[in-house]
Amino acid sequence: MRDKFPIMKTYEPKQKPDPDNLEFGTVFTDHMFLMDYDEAAGWYDGRIVPYSPLRLDPAAAVLHYSQEIFEGLKTYKAPDGGLRLFRPDMNAKRMNRSAARVCMPAIDEGLFVDAIKTLVSLEADWVPDKPGTSLYIRPFMIATEPFLGVRPSKQYIFSIILCPVGPYYKGGIAPTKIFVEDEYVRSVVGGTGTAKVGGNYAASLKSQVKAHSLGFSQVLWLDGVERRYVEEIGTSNAFFVIGGEVFTAPLGGSILPGITRDTAITLLKDWGITVREERFTIDEVYKAFDDGKLSEVFATGTATVISPVGHMRWKDKEIVINGAEIGELSQRLYDGITDIQTGAAADKFGWTVGI
Ligand SMILES: *Cc1c(COP(=O)(O)O)cnc(C)c1O
């Protein structure tokens, strides 16, 4: 049975944005989900209220010691008008793994998915239906106990907000330019790189700004110890097609386990393509390029689904991959995944969930 949440509706519905000019993460819907936690009471008072600023004590723990985690997923409108979620149970599980890593309380997986379904149903009018558009869902949890001192908070808020988003690439998928970061690192084994915790992203800004100033759109992260092994691209997982086989870093304790990563690996294997989840170095990638074996590089993530890489610079070596055109496998994966998400193709793995 679905969890039931009281709904307080807004008296001032907002004007919906122009469906042809949707950006990513700038416009939010009329309502949000909120739920409180207290060490003694556990989670209580799950509810839907008008979208509004949160009231926080200036001493709230999140503002000082960054106890914050989040998730990201999307709702798609199917050709028949029905709304679908894509693998939301994976987000629920990952949220709880992130929570455990930074000593935050778990949320019942069924409640997590029910809260999303209830909120999205209420905001169904906000789900855009042009090709490539969707309603992005952002669940997050913050520590709210007012105290200064480093220990886990005893109070938290869990919230879900929604934003209608356009196709990540206006005018079709354009391959990106990637800067291989060999100065700053994102993650080390034993750190928080496998969790979606806010602090990771604050720590990554410096190299993102550096890459932008050099004319690149994203960073390729190397391992934090030797700075040789390829790990991720920005906030996406990284894939390399070398000699007809697909290589991606293994989930060895410093990689974020992307749901799109898992989806891509499953589809590739289903298509009979060899996927190697193995450690490999940036030198090996450049060697493969020199040998004419590197045919495609792409990143996977909920926001972009598949993002092909056209240029890559490591130290002073800049290479152009596949003539800076989207590769065959990248395109096939993009179409394969988005067709399942929107209901245009059969969902043989049972990944989509109707609302
Ligand atoms: C969210 C995220 C990903 C991609 O995960 P998806 O579940 O595919 O959206 C990859 N790397 C990092 C660092 C991330 O934060």
DSSP secondary structure string, 3-46?
----B---SSPPPPPPTTS--SSS---SEEEEEEEETTTEEEEE
Residues composing the chain: 355
Which residues are 281's β-sheet partners?
229
Cα(301)–Cα(334) distance, integer angstroms: 11
pLDDT at residue 339 in the model: 94
Per-residue pLDDT tens over the stretch 23-38: 889 999 999 999 999 9
Q: How is residue 126 annotated by DSSP?
A: G
Cα(219)–Cα(63) distance, integer angstroms: 27
CATH code for residues 176-342: 3.20.10.10
Q: Which of left, alpha, beta for 132 (phi over 0: left; psi -120 to 50: alpha)?
A: left
Nearest Cα neighbor of 91 from 115, 59, 67 is: 115
pLDDT over 90 (residue 130): no
Q: Which of 70, 86, 259, 302 to mutate to test the pocket of ligand 1 (most atoms within 8 A of CB)?
A: 302
pLDDT at residue 228 in the model: 97
**Rounded distance from Cα 235 to ligand 1 centre (Å):** 5
Cα(228)–Cα(142) distance, integer angstroms: 35
Cα(33)–Cα(43) distance, integer angstroms: 13
Cα(118)–Cα(148) distance, integer angstroms: 36
pLDDT band at 205; cut points 50, 70, 90: very high
Q: Does the beta carbon of 259 lie inside 6 Å of ligand 1? A: yes
pLDDT at residue 304 in the model: 92
CA-closest residue to ligand 1 atom 15:
235
**Rounded distance from Cα 148 to ligand 1 centre (Å):** 31
CATH code for residues 31-167: 3.30.470.10
Place of tokens 């001032």: 12
| Radius of gyration, CA atoms only, the chain | 21
Q: Does the beta carbon of 302 lie inside 6 Å of ligand 1? A: yes
**Rounded distance from Cα 92 to ligand 1 centre (Å):** 14
Per-residue pLDDT tens over the stretch 36-92: 999 999 999 999 999 999 999 999 999 999 999 999 999 998 888 899 999 999 999
Contact 176, 89 (CB under 8 A): no
- Cα separation of the two ends of the chain: 14
Cα(28)–Cα(138) distance, integer angstroms: 10
**Rounded distance from Cα 168 to ligand 1 centre (Å):** 15
Place of tokens 């003539």: 323
Q: Which residues of 102-141 are buried (b: 16+ CB within 10 A; e: fewer)?
A: bebbebebebbbbbbbbbbebbeebbbeeebbbbbbbbbb
Q: What is the mean pLDDT of the chain?
A: 95
Q: Does the beta carbon of 261 lie inside 6 Å of ligand 1? A: yes
pLDDT over 60 (residue 232): yes
**Rounded distance from Cα 236 to ligand 1 centre (Å):** 5
The beta strands (E) that lie in 39-117 are given as 42-50, 68-70, 73-77, 83-86
Determine the residue type at 64: H
CA-closest residue to ligand 1 atom 13:
235
pLDDT band at 129; cut points 50, 70, 90: confident
Q: Does the beta carbon of 145 lie inside 6 Å of ligand 1? A: no
pLDDT over 70 (residue 279): yes
Contact 143, 103 (CB under 8 A): no
- The SS3 of residue 227 is coil
pLDDT at residue 81 in the model: 86
Per-residue pLDDT tens over the stretch 287-306: 999 999 999 999 999 999 99
What does the domain layout of the chain look like in residue ranges? 31-167, 176-342
pLDDT at residue 24 in the model: 87
Place of tokens 């034993």: 190
Cα(76)–Cα(122) distance, integer angstroms: 15
pLDDT over 70 (residue 8): yes
pLDDT at residue 173 in the model: 79
What sign for the dihedral angle of Cα 334, 335, 336, 342? Answer: positive
pLDDT over 90 (residue 170): no
pLDDT band at 235; cut points 50, 70, 90: very high
Contact 41, 35 (CB under 8 A): no
pLDDT over 60 (residue 1): no
Can you tell me the mean pLDDT for 183-199? 96
**Rounded distance from Cα 84 to ligand 1 centre (Å):** 20
